[in-house]
Amino acid sequence: MGLPPVCVPCARSMRCAQNEFPVRDKRTEFAPATVWSGDRFECEGCGASVVVGFGRGRVEDPDNPSTALEFRR
């Protein structure tokens, strides 16, 4: 990965808090829900967090909502 995300309010580089963080998108009438794995970064200053780096692909268990953050569009 290149540079880490930067927290806008704090102007600080964020640190990786969790690798392989699951994020689930919503089921639509045309496609089933899918779960993607990314890395969650957190700001040590204000606690804001982001999930980035979904390039590794999908996770195989899209039906377990308890382990995945649901992505809202």
The number of folded domains in the chain is 1
pTM over 0.85: no
Domain membership flag for residue 27: no
Q: How far is CA 68 from the centre of its chain?
A: 9
Contact 41, 5 (CB under 8 A): yes
How far apart are the C-alpha atoms of 17 and 69, rounded to whole Å? 15
Q: DSSP secondary structure string, 2-36?
A: -SPPEETTTTEE-EEEEEEEEEEPPP-SSS---EE
Which tens digits make up the pLDDT trace of 28-46? 788 777 888 899 999 999 9
Host domain of residue 10: 1-22+37-51
Domain membership flag for residue 59: no
Q: What tokens were used for 8?
A: 């806008």
pLDDT band at 69 (very low <50, low <70, confident <90, very high): confident
Query: What is the pLDDT, as a whole number, of residue 73?
Result: 60
